[in-house]
Structure 1
Amino acid sequence: MSRLRSLGVPAALFAAVVAVALLATLGPSAVERLAVTGLVNLILVIGLYVFVGNSGVWSFGHMSFALVGGYVAGLLALPTRLKGQLLPDAPALVRELTAPPFVAVLVGGSVAAVVAVAVAVPLARISGLSAGLATVSLLIACSVVAAQWQSVTRGQKGLSSIPTSTTLWTALGWVLVALVLAWGYQRSSFGVRLRASKSDEVAAAAAGISVPVQRGIAFVLSAFLTGVGGALFALQLGSINPDVFYLDATFLIITMLVLGGAGSLTGAVTGGVVVSVLAEVLRRVEGGSLFGMDVPARPGLADVVLGVVLVVMLLCRPSGLTGGRELRLTRRGTGRGDPTREPSGRLTPVGAAGGPGEDRS
């Protein structure tokens, strides 16, 4: 029963995301398209959180899995006739195999997870700065492969004319899937073990926890969600190239996670929503119309402001807007003899008694 009640947290987070997304439907179609992009970014943030938030090891190369998922989904979504024209030298399996959008997204995430399995063996055994550098190397390697594999990816020209199918409701559905998977994982025995190693790796290993194995499991699940986000983006934009998921996207997603709070799923969602709205306001300030007023062009202003906000947050509140705490919706006194319950709506630290870091059911 406690497991069922615990779903109230992802349900509340999803309700908040739906409310913000529905506001976008009241505006012009351009605003709705931006909302879809924000939802896809939210899936990418949740995917990154599954590994970083639970392991405490930062990854700067997760966008490589989004790149893999985007290319796989794009290739599957392209009609056979069009692939024959764009990719005449591709293997027969690539040219002939097609799939509906849902299957293409699912396969894109699965292939990204398979790639993660291949690289998790060495990466799961390192941490700190070494892990960060290794993941950056992974990002560079995937980008170079995408840029040079002319017969399959068309190199720097990228894939184009991909049938678009990612709508607002499609993106919301996948956001719900990401929330449930991320929440279920961190409350599972696997998530608890990984969080124990995050607090004290030596003590966790002494207690019999295989830290590399637990990191590898989180890494693969994280890669799957990130690949799904990349696939949805390719099917929304209708094209993909090696530069779509590179340094700019990496900076944006990491900023979302840091500003919201990398220690909790609530923080990941909060950061994703806040930065998406802030980025759109700054994009309009760069040049265009803001609240009906014409604004002179200021190219690059959005990136500068986001960088400044990130530095200020790291200095003033390094644990993010949520302080690394999860939202709790239960009320004190609603459970007889349960001292771990908190007042409604209170944020409690991840891993505290009764919180997502420790399953008391």
Structure 2
Amino acid sequence: MTQIKLKAGFKCQLLMHLLMFFMLSVSSISIAYAQKNIPIKTFPETVYFFAKNPNNSEIYASTDNGILIIDATTLKLISKISLAGSPRGLDVSADGSKLYVATSALRQLAVIDIASRKILPPIYLTWMPYDVRVGNHDRAYATPGDYGYNDAFHGIMMINTITGKFIKEFSFPGLPLYYGSTLLQISPDKNSLYFAATYPTLIKINVATDTPAIVIYWSFRGLQSEDLFMTPSGDYIYYATGDNINRSDSLDRLRTTDLTAQGTLSVGQYPHAVATSPDGNTAYVVQKSSGAIQIWNTNIQQKQCELNTQEDANKLFTDSKGLYLFAAFQNELRIYNSSCETKR
């Protein structure tokens, strides 16, 4: 009888050890899962647009009252330049020496000398700008802000960046476009401008000369443009559109040569924000009202993982090396590791 009791006690003790091991393992898994949703860096700022310098690791982010300059290697805030006029879209000159900022509350394009961090004399425009891209031949292009439906058919503004003068405004009569608060992207060779109208229409424009011409345009499902992102190679562009009634539930990877779909990401209703890795093989997507960032393999159109953020990011961006994902939330900029592997 004593021998049987010892065996039973041993079994009981063994079961207790196994139970404790199981509980510790589950706890470790839970902690690891929770940690994958924690950003590695945060800044208490509402950010609207991003741009990167082609010559160094600096990333620029527009806020309501200035420009953040962040080192994408150390993730430290290098500087914050105070700038009036509600900065929105921004772009860097080809030589990396100047930053052009669309000030949405002023009829001007702000110009910042990147080396000295000094604000240079602005370029005065005919309308308050919303987004901007720098092109070839000392040209820049800016879209107008939202003036209301009846007064928002102002065209794209062309600027001479050397003289600091407004050249002209161009638009496309006959196309059912709404120009307020519209988005721009430009090809790596700076000869093709991509314009996303407020009501979903994407236009490819030849801007190799001072006489811009439509190459191709395409109307999309949905009622409004949400985001526009071009892969760094210039081969593909992602155009997020949506509406609250007939919600689109996919995001197409469009070939920039002819705007035909070369793969579709089934991200769910109402794609809201999108960015890709530098090589274009990974896409980061926010589905509106999901409180998450989806991470996709674009080559096989398969979701790899999902980052639980509790609220929607409004803009996404990656650094030149693809190590970090910058996500702009209301009142907070968060920086995450960019790959699914680092989140496990």
Higher relative contact order (CA 8 A, sep 6+): 1
Q: Quickly name the TM-score band, shorter chain normalised.
A: under 0.3
TM (normalized to structure 1)? 0.20
Which protein is richer in helix relative to its size?
1
Larger Rg: 2
TM (normalized to structure 2)? 0.21
Which protein is richer in strand relative to its size?
2
